[in-house]
Amino acid sequence: MRTRAILLALATAFALVLAAPVSSAAETAGKPLKVHAKLDKSQVKVGEKVKLKGSLEVVAGDHAAGLEPLLVQKLEAGAWVTIADTSCRPNGRYSLSLSFHVAASLSLRVFYPGTTLYASTSSSVLGLVVIG
């Protein structure tokens, strides 16, 4: 009976060791960023260009000097689909022109996929109406 209790205690201890996290979420998540985005128009005609401007803000701490990738995405059938990309330095600004070839009401965002240094994040959702 005593051997059984010891084996049970060892098995429980082993299971707890295996279940313990290797590193905390704060260590693996990276530093927080904010992606700001703004369209210069809320409505455009098919084929007309709309300018998307914004910035990549490091919320705390030091920042890297390299370019960081940004993905412009539209919501399509419940999933975010990348339609354009650009890059930006931390605490820098970006600007790009977009045009659409189909009349639609679009939900857009700018997504930062994250790196080992910075956590992934996205801008607020932007609405754009493309008329025929």
Say what the pLDDT of residue 19 is.
Answer: 39
CATH superfamily of 29-131: Macroglobulin (MG2) domain (2.60.40.1930)
Candidates 108, 18, 105, 30; CA nearest to 62 is 30
Q: In this predicted structure, what is the pLDDT of residue 64?
A: 67
Per-residue tens of pLDDT for the chain, all 132 residues: 554 444 344 444 444 333 334 333 334 467 888 999 999 999 999 999 999 999 999 887 666 678 999 999 999 999 999 999 999 999 999 999 999 999 999 999 999 999 888 899 999 999 999 999
How far apart (Å, rounded) are the C-alpha atoms in residues 126 and 42?
9
Strands 92-98 and 104-112: unpaired
Task: Provide the residue count of the chain.
Answer: 132
Give residue limits of the domains in the chain. 29-131
CA distance 48 to 127: 16
Distance of CA 70 to the CA centre of its chain: 8
Closest CA to 53 of 38, 69, 64, 43: 38
